[in-house]
Amino acid sequence: MSRPLVVDSVAALRAQIRDWRHDGLRVAMVPTMGALHDGHISLVKIALDRAERCVVSIFVNPTQFAPTEDLDKYPRQLARDVDRLGMARADLAFTPTVGEMYPSGFATRISVGGPSAGLEADFRPTFFDGVATVVAKLLLQATPDCAIFGEKDYQQLCVVRQLCRDLDLPVEIIGAPTIRDAHGLAMSSRNAYLDETELRIARQFNVILRDTAAALAAGAGQSHATEEASRALIAAGFQKVDYVEARESLTLAPWHRNGEGRLLAAAWLGKTRLIDNVEIPST
């Protein structure tokens, strides 16, 4: 098993990337918060199909967590993550400290409009500013040719695309399909919080979303179909549904029947908040 180079300073990251560029190599980046699972590893594979070198950042970004959220509890397992990256043949793990990313006196926040409105933002109002700020920093630190983001966090992917377009960041953003377990549950670091019973319930999430997307494609009214989906999630054992909404795939504007659509949802199982999304099949 090869072992990725592990660096925790921006200076060391830039020095290595400068060497690769000098040798004419393309660089791809996979930004993560660690606790790597098969979903992340699929992003590394896509990165290595697109570039000769793959950088994976592992940084639990405090600015995207609200004070009430799970920042302290968020799983951290660096040694295991580095082993997994070695097996996946990633070249470099960038593992900055909070002080390296946000040195004392740091005072900038990036606020993206457009696709960041509604959905997650209604429940996590500071989340996308935190994501946009850290992603802009990571992309400027590493200056990769391309960066890979999972469709699992679909609204985040749309926000990152908007950020790069609006700020002319010279990086291609690649969206990668969600990796699911044998029951269709989307891989997520937060699945680690679920006990056996919750896991069984969580596996109904994608089934209910797929059924609802199929009903929408077949002509069901939007509010009726999404209310039915919320009811079905509660009946399956979820305690609370934050939203189930159909949106236009690229802009996340409200969905109109003849445009490409995405059904997005967030729901609570105990203390764990799960999100998922599926394409609305075109008719």
Catalytic residue numbers? Answer: 40
**How many C-beta neighbours within 10 Å does residue 189 have?**
18
Measure the CA dihedral 150/16/103/145, to 10°: -40
- Tokens 């740091």 correspond to 106
Q: How far apart are CB 88 and ligand PAF at their closest, in Å?
A: 16
The pairs formed by 250-258 with CB atoms below 8 angstroms and a separation of 24 or more are 250/158, 251/114, 251/115, 251/158, 252/114, 252/115, 252/117, 252/118, 252/119, 252/155, 252/158, 255/222, 255/280, 257/219
Provide the binding-site residues for ligand PAF, judged by CB under 6 A. Answer: 31-33, 61, 64, 131, 134-135, 153, 156
Contact 173/161 with Cβ under 8 angstroms? yes
Q: How far apart are CB 188 and ligand PAF at their closest, in Å?
A: 10
**Rounded to whole angstroms, how far apart are CA atoms 33 and 65?**
12
